[in-house]
């Protein structure tokens, strides 16, 4: 099975010769995988356009487009996953798995009960690492886009970015404890193809009452995620799986 890579170029006509300029893609194709002439690859071009290519020259990093592909692997709704800064490397895990499950963006910000405290320098370094994780996961899962990764320095700045969505859903532990079971299902039935959704999840300590009120002021709906209390790194994956099941399998 041909491996898939993002190369950030416009897709040419069939038969055209293409040079792999992107260093990350070139390194993995020709150094890590030791791809040889005549072997085939799948390349994702600009605008999520896909093509099957054959390697022409390793030294020149050149390939030839042999077929334009029309596969579709993106969720029909654009889902942004936003989480409060979790502890340790949990955000690495969330980024990788949320990418595999179809998230269009992964955001994270300091919530009131976040234990993790990252300064600006560490945030920039962490964001670059997460972008690489998202790219690798997108290639492995044959996505046609790499999710946007954004880490916010403060909660207020994050909140200002939460307005441009058709729907905001906040997974709230107290709502789940109260036995709420229908909110997610109802929200799914109200969505149509092409809509933008923001899913918000708290850190290990949860979401404070004050934060919930701020989300509600933006029109957010509070939802439970079933009868069990999920960990901070599990809840986003549960919700994304529900979106995939509803829009792609039912």
Q: Please, which pLDDT band fits residue 250 given cuts at 50, 70 and 90?
A: confident
CA distance 68 to 43: 10
Q: Which CATH number is 9's domain given?
A: 2.40.240.20
Q: Please, which pLDDT band fits residue 226 given cuts at 50, 70 and 90?
A: confident
Residues 105 and 63 in one domain: no
Closest alpha carbon to 13 in 87, 68, 52, 93: 68
When divided into structural domains, the chain yields a total of 2
Q: Is the pLDDT of residue 216 over 70?
A: yes
Residues 87 and 206 in one domain: yes
Tracing tokens 């085939």 back to the chain, one arrives at: 40
User: What pLDDT digit, counting tens, does each position of 87-103 carry?
Assistant: 999 999 999 999 999 99
C-alpha triplet 140, 143, 146: angle, nearest 5°: 95
Q: Is the pLDDT of residue 205 over 80?
A: yes
Domain final residue, candidates 69, 100, 119: 69
Q: Which residues contact 225 (CB under 8 A, 6 or more apart)?
A: 171, 176, 184, 235, 238, 239
DSSP H/E element including 237:
helix 235-244
User: Of residues 14 and 226, which shows the higher confidence score?
Assistant: 14
CA distance 141 to 6: 12
Residues 127 and 231 in one domain: yes
Residues 199 and 91 in one domain: yes
Residues 229 and 189 in one domain: yes
Residues 187 and 127 in one domain: yes
Residues 61 and 153 in one domain: no
CA distance 166 to 187: 11
Residues 46 and 150 in one domain: no
In angstroms, what CA-CA distances link 45 with 8, 21, 143, 195? 5, 12, 12, 24
Q: Please, which pLDDT band fits residue 1 given cuts at 50, 70 and 90?
A: confident
Domain final residue, candidates 18, 38, 69: 69
Share of the chain above pLDDT 90, in %: 87
Residues 38 and 145 in one domain: no
pTM of this prediction? 0.94
Over residues 181-204, mean pLDDT = 92
Q: Please, which pLDDT band fits residue 176 given cuts at 50, 70 and 90?
A: low
Domain final residue, candidates 26, 47, 69: 69
Closest alpha carbon to 75 in 6, 11, 5, 145: 145
Q: Is the pLDDT of residue 118 over 90?
A: no
Q: Which CATH number is 223's domain given?
A: 3.40.1280.10
Q: Are 209 and 178 in contact (CB under 8 A)?
A: no
Share of the chain above pLDDT 70, in %: 97
The confidence score (pLDDT) of residue 134 equals 98
Over residues 9-38, mean pLDDT = 97
Residues 65 and 108 in one domain: no
Residues 61 and 116 in one domain: no
Residues 61 and 84 in one domain: no
Q: Is the pLDDT of residue 181 over 70?
A: no
Tracing tokens 């038969």 back to the chain, one arrives at: 15
Tell me which residue range forms the domain holding 13: 4-69
């Amino acid at each position: 099975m041909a491996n898939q890579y993002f190369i950030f170029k416009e897709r040419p006509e069939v038969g055209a010769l293409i040079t792999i300029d992107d260093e990350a893609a070139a390194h993995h194709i020709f150094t890590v995988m030791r791809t040889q002439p005549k072997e085939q690859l799948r390349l994702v071009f600009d605008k999520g356009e896909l093509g099957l290519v054959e390697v022409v020259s390793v030294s020149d990093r050149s390939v030839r487009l042999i077929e334009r592909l029309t596969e579709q692997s993106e969720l029909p709704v654009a889902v942004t996953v936003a989480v409060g800064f979790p502890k340790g490397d949990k955000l690495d895990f969330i980024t990788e798995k949320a990418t595999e499950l179809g998230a269009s963006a992964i955001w994270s910000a300091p919530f009131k009960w976040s234990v993790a405290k990252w300064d600006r320098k560490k945030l920039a370094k962490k964001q670059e690492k997460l972008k690489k994780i998202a790219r690798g996961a997108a290639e492995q899962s044959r996505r046609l886009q790499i999710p946007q990764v954004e880490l916010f320095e403060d909660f207020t700045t994050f909140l200002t970015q939460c307005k441009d969505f058709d729907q905001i859903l906040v997974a709230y532990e107290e709502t789940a404890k109260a036995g709420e079971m229908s909110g997610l299902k109802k929200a799914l039935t109200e969505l149509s193809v092409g809509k933008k959704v923001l899913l918000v999840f708290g850190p290990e300590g949860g979401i404070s009452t004050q934060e919930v009120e701020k989300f509600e002021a933006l029109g957010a709906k509070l939802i439970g995620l079933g009868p069990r209390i999920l960990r901070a790194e599990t809840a986003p994956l549960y919700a994304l799986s529900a979106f995939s099941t509803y829009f792609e399998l039912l």
